[in-house]
Amino acid sequence: MPLARFIARRLLLAIVTLWLVSVGIFAAVEVLPGDVARLMLGQFATEHDIALVRQQLGLDRPLAVRYGDWAAGVLAGELGQSWRLRTPIAPLLIERLGNSAALAGLAFLVIVPLSILGGVVAALRRGRLSDGLITLGGMFGMAVPEFVSSMFLILAFSLWLKVLPASARIPAEDSIFAHLDALILPVVALGFVLFGYVSRMVRASMIGELQRGYARTARLKGLDPWTVVVFHVLRNALLPTITVIANQISWLIGGLVVVENVFNYPGLGQLLLQAALGQDVPLLEATVLVLAAILMLANLAADILHGVLNPRIRVQPRGAPT
C-alpha cells in the first residue's frame, strides 16, 4: 500500500497544480493588451459594432463568470471555437497534438538511447579522447539555442549539401511517417540540448556508481565487465537520469515552439504561436492548458517510475511533508 498512497499523493498534487495553472492561464490571457473585438473587425470598425462583437463573445461579462463557464466547458470536453479560424478547437488540438507527439516521440526514441550510450561510454573511458568529445558535444548542444542550431542545420543540409528538405510542412492528407526525411532536421535540432543534459547526467551517475562497493565486488567475483555495467551499475545510474529526462520535457515543449515554426511543421507549438500573435483567446487558453497538462502528466509519470525503481523515496516518516 505505500506505493498506492505515494501515487495518490502525487496525483492529488498534480490535480491541484493543474487547477491553479488553469486559473493563471485564464487570468494571464484575459489581461493581454489590445481589444480582441477591434482586432477581429479592423481599425475602421464602429464602436457599436465592437460592442456587439464583445457581447457575442461574452467579453462584457465579469471575469469570474467567464472563467467558470470556460472551466465547465473544459471539464465537459467543450473547448469552444477559435475566433480566428472559425473552427472547433478540440479537433484542431487533437490533430496538432498528434503531430507534435510524433515529432517529440521520434526525437526521444532517437536521442535518449544515444545520450545514455554516450554517457556510459564517456564514463567508462573517463579522461580519454572519446570522453572529451562526448562531453564537449554535450556542452555545445546545451549552449546553442534551438533557433541557431535549426538555421545552421538548414544552411548545411538543405542549402549547401541539398540532401534534406528545409521545410517540414506535410500535406494534410499525408501521414507524417510518409515524409520521414522532412523530420530528420527538426529531430536533430530538438535533440541537441537533450543529448547534452542526459549524457552528462548518465556520465556523472555512472562514475559515482562504478566507485561503489557493490560494483567492485561484482568485478572481483569475475563477472563480465559489460554484465556489471548493464545489469548492476546502469540501473542505479539511471534513477537520477529519469528525473532529468522528465524535466527536459518542459524544455522540449518550449523547443517545439521554436523548431516547429522554423521548419514550418504543423504541430502544437506552431499553433500556440499563431494563437498568441492573432490574439485568439479561446485557442490560446486551450493550447496552453493542454501543454500544462502534458507537463503535469510527464512529471507524475516520472515520480511514479522513480518511486517504483527506488522504494526509499516513497517511505516517509510520519508527519513528513508530501
Span 129-169, pLDDT tens digits: 988 999 898 888 888 888 898 999 999 999 998 898 988 88
What percent of the chain is helix, strand and coil (3-state, nearest 5)?
75, 0, 20
Q: Mean pLDDT lowest for which of 110-114, 198-202, 263-267, 314-318?
A: 314-318
pLDDT given for residue 269 in this prediction: 87
Section 230-245 average pLDDT: 78
**pLDDT score of 154:** 93
| More confident: 318 or 128 | 128
pLDDT, position 263: 92
For the record, the C-alpha cell of 253 comes out as 515543449
Domains identified in the chain and CATH numbers = 89-277 (1.10.3720.10)
Grid cell of 298 as nine digits = 510527464
On the question of pLDDT at 218 being above 60, the answer is yes
Provide the 3-class DSSP secondary structure of residue 284: helix
**The pLDDT of residue 318:** 40
Mean pLDDT of 242-261: 79
* Sequence-ordered strand ranges (E) for 94-163: none
pLDDT for the residue 156: 92
Q: Over range 249-272, report the average pLDDT.
A: 85
Average pLDDT, integer, range 207-221 = 80
Which range has the worst mean pLDDT, 54-68, 117-131, 229-243? 54-68
Structural contact between residues 49 and 41, judged by C-beta atoms closer than 8 angstroms:
yes
Give how far Cα 107 sits from Cα of 34, 110, 186, 189, 293, Å. 37, 5, 8, 9, 20
pLDDT at position 317 is 46
Q: Report the alpha-carbon distance of residue 165 to residue 186 in Å, rounded.
A: 11
pTM: 0.77
Query: Where residue 29 falls among pLDDT bands split at 50, 70, 90?
Result: low
Higher pLDDT, 306 or 238: 238
**Mean pLDDT score of the chain, rounded to an integer?**
80
Give the burial string for 299-317 (b: 16+ CB within 10 Å, else e). bbebbbebbeeeeeebeee
Annotate 243-262 with DSSP letters as a single string: HHHHHHHHHHHHHHHHHHHH
Q: Which three cell numbers stand for residue 321?
A: 511533508
Summarize pLDDT for 276-317 with one digit per residue, the tens: 887 787 888 888 888 888 888 877 777 777 666 666 655 554
pLDDT at residue 313, rounded to an integer? 56
Specify the pLDDT at position 79. 81
Per-residue pLDDT, 321: 44
